[in-house]
Amino acid sequence: MKVKCPTCDKDVVWSADAPFRPFCSERCKLIDLGDWAAENHRIPDKAPIDAALSEEYLAELEQEFIAQDNNFFKH
């Protein structure tokens, strides 16, 4: 079976002999990885952000953290 390299559209034979599949080369694989790292391939979050709920949740987490008498910041 042949697939197109997601980076350069070159044909790639899908087999164990193609170590970078679905990419044609390590170069194309690294280009794609860089695009993900730069957030060029983000998956959009369609959930609306409720700022009040977020602030309330963060406040609860902060209180829980303080209540644990955590020594994390005492170094």
pLDDT digits (tens, 9 = 90+) for 6-48: 999 999 999 988 899 999 999 999 999 999 898 888 777 777 7
Strand-pair partners of 3: 12
Looking at residue 58, its pLDDT comes to 84
pLDDT at 75 over 60: no
- Candidates 74, 49, 50, 70; CA nearest to 61 is 70
Looking at residue 44, its pLDDT comes to 77
Looking at residue 55, its pLDDT comes to 80
Contacts of 29 (CB under 8 A, 6+ apart): 7, 20, 23
pTM exceeds 0.85 for this model? no
Query: Span 48-72, mean pLDDT?
Result: 76
